[in-house]
Amino acid sequence: MLNKILISFVILLLFSATHAGELELNPKHPDKYTVVRGDTLWDISAKFLTEPWRWQEIWQINPQIKNPHLIYPGDTVSLSYEDGQPILNLERAGSVVSGRNVKLSPTIRSSENIEAIPAIPLDAIQQFLKWPLILEDDQMEDWPYVVSSYDGHLMASVNNKIYIRGIPENLGAKQYSIYRRGPAYVNIKEDKNDDDEVLGYEAIYVGQARIERGGDPASAIITSVKREVMIGDRLIPNSEKDNFTTEFIPSSTPNNVEGNILSVLDGVSQIGQYQIVILNLGEESGIEPGNVLGIFQSNVTVEDTIGPNKRKTKEEEDNDRIIFENEDTNFFNRELSKLFNAIRNTVKNIDENYPGFANKKTKSEAINLPDENVGVLMVFRTFEKISYALVMEISGPVHVADVVRNL
């Protein structure tokens, strides 16, 4: 019941935020679309809407259909109009539905509903729902650690035995996750003179181990790895809450936020669709899983070599001429002024028309271009000051340090 209330509350926030802008249909939208395996709700909505995260606005509830929150391969989504407004209808595979329309809510369900299509590509984020952790500076210091491997090697892999110090004698846990302290996530400075603000440290997931024998040191067998286990790696007991799925309802944030892309997984310089990025926005900024933010290319600077070298008008030239003392009354000074300014203007013309001849260096001015919307991302996991997000759409180059904010 609480979960349904929370979902309803998020939907209410979505409505209040998105109704401010007019909903636009995709100009190439079909009248009907039959769902196939591999589809996501985002993909399907993108066939009908230019802003697919706003699908809740045109999907309605049909109480005649059992569990209308799920969509399955074979179902048909169709577009119709009611009072001039577009709405989406759902027809279950093998059945015809009449009457009221169906609410199509994006959800991620557990294994009993494995065939239902997800909201977003789960294979892109599944491992990051469970394993990545953001820690404080000294948070791992008290965790048990790998002191050696059975054969004394510095690195160990699957089925190797390792020895661990710091396992409590009375701890009944047998399954442990292995982590390694990763790099610090440092906030982007607004002022170069500001000190670095560390938002957290990445705990890099290494693998899984099963305790064989307690004691100091305890022994364990490595059961799976993402990377080789090393001396000094830390362990933490698994718990039931580690194994979770979640429901994502794409939504706007309840308040205006603005941050930056701090990093991208895999260390690439240019970011593409379905890549995971780390934001310097977290729970303390009001960010929640499902929040949709725009990506804006920012701080792009170009050199203007035209404006600074623009030819002056005659009035500007007259105002810029060299004036000799008493040239109004002194014939010699007046003629000298004419000669001097004529020579000066000739040299300037040569500079402007034959810059190579005069070896003139062109003037330039650095111009900051306005921010441009180049993509859309959706947050799927949050920490206090940091969140993980999946890039859903891109329309231009996306880089680390680009701005993210409400659409």
Residues 35 and 88 in one domain: yes
Are the CB atoms for 148 and 160 separated by under 8 Å?
A: no
Largest pairwise CA distance in the chain = 110
Residues 363 and 373 in one domain: no
Are the CB atoms for 47 and 32 separated by under 8 Å?
A: no
Q: Which residue has the higher pLDDT, 189 or 62?
A: 189
CB-based contacts of 283, cutoff 8 Å, min separation 6: 382, 383, 384, 385, 387
Residues 289 and 401 in one domain: yes
Question: Would you put residue 261 in left (φ > 0), alpha (ψ -120 to 50) or beta?
Answer: beta
Residues 213 and 329 in one domain: no
Question: For position 209, what pLDDT does the model report?
Answer: 95
* pLDDT exceeds 90 at position 223: yes
Residue 111 pLDDT class (50, 70, 90 cuts): very low
The phi, psi pair for 108, rounded to 5°, reads -120, 120
* pLDDT exceeds 80 at position 86: yes
Spatial distance between the Cα atoms of 367 and 351, rounded to a whole number of angstroms: 24
Residues 232 and 328 in one domain: no
Residues 192 and 292 in one domain: no
**One-letter amino acid for residue 157 of the chain:** S
Alpha helices in 59-117 (DSSP H): none
Number of domains in the chain: 4
Residue 355 pLDDT class (50, 70, 90 cuts): low
Residue 285 pLDDT class (50, 70, 90 cuts): very high
Residues 160 and 58 in one domain: no
Residues 97 and 203 in one domain: no
Instruction: For residue 249, tell me if it sits in a domain.
Output: no
Residues 339 and 350 in one domain: yes
Instruction: For residue 252, tell me if it sits in a domain.
Output: no
* pLDDT exceeds 60 at position 244: no
* pLDDT exceeds 60 at position 378: yes
CA distances from 367 to 300, 323, 362, 364, 404 (A): 8, 35, 16, 9, 22
User: 73 burial class (0-12, 13-18, 19+ CB within 10 angstroms)?
Assistant: middle
Instruction: For residue 23, tell me if it sits in a domain.
Output: yes
Instruction: For residue 159, tell me if it sits in a domain.
Output: yes
Residue 19 pLDDT class (50, 70, 90 cuts): very low
Across 20-24, 92-96, 245-249, 400-404, the highest mean pLDDT is recorded for: 400-404
Residue 20 pLDDT class (50, 70, 90 cuts): very low
Residue 334 pLDDT class (50, 70, 90 cuts): confident
Instruction: For residue 373, tell me if it sits in a domain.
Output: yes
Q: Give the mean pLDDT of 95-113.
A: 44
Q: Which residue has the higher pLDDT, 264 or 15?
A: 264
Q: Is the pTM of this model over 0.85?
A: no
Instruction: For residue 194, tell me if it sits in a domain.
Output: yes
Question: For position 305, what pLDDT does the model report?
Answer: 77
Instruction: For residue 248, tell me if it sits in a domain.
Output: no
- Residues in the chain, how many? 407
Question: For position 364, what pLDDT does the model report?
Answer: 81
Question: For position 246, what pLDDT does the model report?
Answer: 59
Q: Give the mean pLDDT of 286-315.
A: 81
CB-based contacts of 157, cutoff 8 Å, min separation 6: 222, 225, 228, 229
Domain boundary among 91, 119, 147: 119
Q: What is the pLDDT of residues 127-172, one digit of tens each?
A: 777 777 888 878 888 899 999 998 888 888 899 999 999 988 776 7
Q: Which residue has the higher pLDDT, 17 or 243?
A: 243
Are the CB atoms for 258 and 404 separated by under 8 Å?
A: yes
Torsion sign, CA atoms 30, 17, 129, 275:
positive
Range of the domain at 9: 2-119
Residue 260 pLDDT class (50, 70, 90 cuts): very high
Residues 277 and 381 in one domain: yes
Instruction: For residue 247, tell me if it sits in a domain.
Output: no
Q: Give the mean pLDDT of 110-118.
A: 59
Q: Does residue 268 sit in helix, strand or coil?
A: coil
Spatial distance between the Cα atoms of 68 and 336, rounded to a whole number of angstroms: 93
Q: Give the mean pLDDT of 102-129.
A: 62
Q: What is the pLDDT of residues 59-72, one digit of tens each?
A: 755 555 555 557 88
CATH of the domain at 262: 2.40.30
Spatial distance between the Cα atoms of 369 and 300, rounded to a whole number of angstroms: 6
* pLDDT exceeds 80 at position 210: yes
Residues 112 and 35 in one domain: yes
Least confident of 120-124, 135-139, 293-297, 318-322: 318-322
Are the CB atoms for 181 and 201 separated by under 8 Å?
A: yes
Residue 9 pLDDT class (50, 70, 90 cuts): very low
